[in-house]
């Protein structure tokens, strides 16, 4: 009888031990009370994938300002801006040109020169794609 009670106690102890090492049923949570919103100047970019109708834009590495905002206020600002998808974030070529000119950091000649550089790179890329397409078709014709 004594042995039976001992086995029951050991089994009970093991089940308590297993329960204490099980994962908690709730996921860990993280909460924020403030966010830091930084502002960066818009500068003339160098991305040739930007549409050919205007100059490419980038943001500078160095912020020009920052503000600490309560997370609820920040989320409210985000909702009131009404941006629903990435398509709404696109800026037309003419407006990109105007933004750069109004910044006072770039001359019209610099902007137009960069646009010509980007167009040249796009033409080179298209030529490369065309050559690779021809080579791919030749390879498939003869070797498949």
73 or 5, higher pLDDT: 73
Q: Average pLDDT of 125-143?
A: 79
What is the largest distance, in Å, between two alpha-carbon atoms of the chain? 99
Residue 11: pLDDT band by 50, 70, 90 thresholds? very low
SS (H, E, C) 28-72: CCCCCCEEEEEECCEEECCCCCCCCCCCCEEECCCCCEEEEEEHH
Is-contact 57 43, C-beta < 8 A?
A: yes
Q: Is the pLDDT of residue 62 over 80?
A: yes
Q: Average pLDDT of 118-144?
A: 81
């Amino acid at each position: 009888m004594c042995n039976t009670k001992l086995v029951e106690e050991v089994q009970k102890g093991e089940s308590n031990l297993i329960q204490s090492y099980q994962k908690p049923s709730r996921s860990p949570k993280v909460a924020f009370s403030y966010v830091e919103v930084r502002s960066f100047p818009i500068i003339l970019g160098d991305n040739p994938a930007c549409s050919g109708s205007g100059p490419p834009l980038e943001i500078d590495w160095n912020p020009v300002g920052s503000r600490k905002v309560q997370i609820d206020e920040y989320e409210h600002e985000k909702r009131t801006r009404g941006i629903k998808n990435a398509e709404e974030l696109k800026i037309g070529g003419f407006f990109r040109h105007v933004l750069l000119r109004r910044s006072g950091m770039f001359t019209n000649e610099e902007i137009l020169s960069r646009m010509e550089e980007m167009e040249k790179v796009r033409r080179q890329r298209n030529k490369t794609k065309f050559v690779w397409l021809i080579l791919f078709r030749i390879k498939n014709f003869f070797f498949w």
